[in-house]
Structure 1
Amino acid sequence: MTGFSRLLPALLMATAPLAVLPVVAAEEAAPAPAVDANAVAETYAALLERDYVYPDTGRRYAAAIRAAIAAGRYAPLTGAALGTAIDADVSAVSPDGHLRVRAPDNAAPAPGGAAPVKRPPRVPVEQAGWIAPGIAFVRFNVFPNDPAVTATAAKFMADHADARAIIFDIRTHGGGGMDQMDVIFPWLFAKETRLVTMATRASVDAQGGSPIDGIPSMRKVAGAAGMVTREHWAMPNGDARLRDARIYVLTSGATASAAEHFSLAMKHTGRGVLIGDPTAGANHFGRGEELGGGFTGFIPVGRTYDPATGQDWEGVGVLPDIAVPPADALVRALTELGVDAAEAKRLSDAHMPSAPMERRKGRVRAPAR
Structure 2
Amino acid sequence: MLIDRIQALVREHYVFPDIAVAIADSLAGFTVDEADEPAAAEALTAALQAVNGDRHLRVRHVAEPIGPEPDPREFIAELVRENGPGVTEVRRLPGNVGLLAIGPVIPTGEYAGPAISAALTLLRGVSPLIIDLRGCLGGVPETVSMIVSHLTGDEPVHVHDLVRRDGGITQFWTATFVSPKVDPGIPVYVLTSARTFSGGEELAYDLQALGRATVVGETTGGGAHPREDFELTPHLQLHIPTARPVNLITGTNWEGVGVTPDVACAASDAIDVALRHAAANSDQRNPSARRRENGHPGLADSH
Give yes or no for TM over 0.5.
yes
Relative to 1, partners in 2 of residues 1:187 and 1:312: Cα closer, same or farther, differing over 3 Å? Answer: closer
1:47 matched residue in structure 2: 9
- 1:176 maps to 2:139: yes
Work out whether residues 150 and 179 of structure 1, in 8 Å CA contact, stay in contact via their aligned partners in 2.
Answer: no
2:59 matched residue in structure 1: 101
Which of 196, 208, 215 aligns to 1:267? It is 208
1:23 matched residue in structure 2: none
How far off is 1:188 after superposition?
Answer: 1.3
Work out whether residues 152 and 182 of structure 2, in 8 Å CA contact, stay in contact via their aligned partners in 1.
Answer: no
1:167 matched residue in structure 2: 130
Give TM-score scaled by structure 2 length.
0.81
Specify the structure having the higher radius of gyration (Cα).
1
Which of 141, 149, 152 aligns to 2:115? It is 152
Where does 1:200-349 land on structure 2 (aligned, <5 Å)? 200-202=164-166, 227-237=167-177, 242-338=183-279, 339-343=292-296, 346-349=297-300
State the aligned residue count. Answer: 272
Identify unmatched segments of 5+ residues in structure 1: 1-37, 108-119, 203-226, 353-369
SS state at 1:347 partner: coil
Work out whether residues 146 and 174 of structure 2, in 8 Å CA contact, stay in contact via their aligned partners in 1.
Answer: no
Counterpart code for 2:10? L
How far off is 1:241 after superposition?
Answer: 5.1
Work out whether residues 197 and 230 of structure 1, in 8 Å CA contact, stay in contact via their aligned partners in 2.
Answer: yes
How far off is 1:273 after superposition?
Answer: 0.6
Relative to 1, partners in 2 of residues 1:57 and 1:76: Cα closer, same or farther, differing over 3 Å? Answer: same
Identify unmatched segments of 5+ residues in structure 2: 66-80, 280-291
Percent identity over paired residues: 24
How far off is 1:63 after superposition?
Answer: 2.4
**Two-structure CA RMSD over aligned residues (Å):** 2.4
Where does 1:129-140 land on structure 2 (aligned, <5 Å)? 129-140=91-102
- 1:192 maps to 2:156: yes
Could you say which structure has the greater relative contact order, defined with CA pairs below 8 angstroms and 6 or more residues apart?
A: 1
- Whole-angstrom distance in 2 between the partners of 1:163 and 1:242: 10
How far off is 1:99 after superposition?
Answer: 1.4
Give TM-score scaled by structure 1 length.
0.67
User: Segments of 4+ in structure 1 off by > 6 A?
Assistant: none
Counterpart code for 1:82? A
